[in-house]
Amino acid sequence: MFINISHKYKSKNFDKRKKKISFIIIHYTETKNLNEAINLLTSKTRRVSCHYIIDLDGSIYNLVDVDHRAWHAGESKWKRSEDINSRSIGIEIVNPGEISYKKYKKKQISSLVKLLIKLKKKFKIANNKILGHSDIAPLRKIDPGKHFPWKVLSENSLGIWVDEKISNLPLDKRQLNTLLKNLKRIGYPYIKDEKFTQNNKKIINSFHRHHLNKLVDKFPTQTSLNKSNDLLKKMFD
């Protein structure tokens, strides 16, 4: 599959990769346009970057060679894996983010799917390691946002997705404990106990943002627990 990737812009915000590539992390730029994003991702003072960025028209730009460690993930974890920057390829999609949210363009998602297929094959990336920034940093990040079309990715054998009917039945204490245990097994970091703490609320919200966007900022329901159970089955089948 041929993909047109431009090398027009380059960022010097990278260092030596210390681990084998095993993750792909998806972000939104939280900018109005490509120029704003490029200025941010090449800034010497901001010290952030990514490997690829996808513009509104679907154009793909390579800012940092994948052999290098781009600075896109920050403080993050997934299961026992730390230093996600060293283990991942970071992809930014031009989008203003949650505050002035606009839908992702079809051309952007089409280009993303093509790029993901190529990278997944080349680096043998497991589906459960194609994640959003908010998955690996749930206490501080919300991108690529609750409107990102994870289901479209799964329809192209990218990532993991299961459909669930939405239930309004809230979880009791025992079920909530089970949900948090499940999320920890799935990979969500920073779960230190099974109590409904502020941090655990953020982690559950991150799970909802990826898998049940209608429940973002809501108390977990039976659907949350069912979804976590089904994801675990799919991951370990």
* Confidence bin at 237 (pLDDT 50/70/90): low
| CA 178 – CA 173 distance, rounded (Å) | 9
Q: 1-5, 134-138, 175-179, 209-213: which range is least confident on average? A: 1-5
Backbone phi, then psi, for 81, in 5-degree steps? -85, 125
Name the catalytic one among 30, 75, 82, 92: 92
* Confidence bin at 166 (pLDDT 50/70/90): confident
- The pTM assigned to this predicted structure is 0.96
Which residue type, as a one-letter code, is found at position 132? Answer: G
Would residue 92 show up in a list of annotated catalytic residues for this protein?
Answer: yes
Write down the pLDDT at residue 100: 78
Tokens for 228, please give them.
């976590």
Burial per residue of 65-76, b for 16 or more beta-carbon CB atoms within 10 angstroms, e otherwise: ebebbbbbbeeb
Mean per-residue pLDDT over the chain, rounded: 96
Residue 215 has pLDDT above 80, yes or no: yes
> Apex CA 13: angle with CA 8 and CA 14, to 5°?
105
* Confidence bin at 172 (pLDDT 50/70/90): very high
Whether omega for the bond prior to residue 144 falls within 30 degrees of 0, making it cis, is yes
Residue 1 has pLDDT above 80, yes or no: no
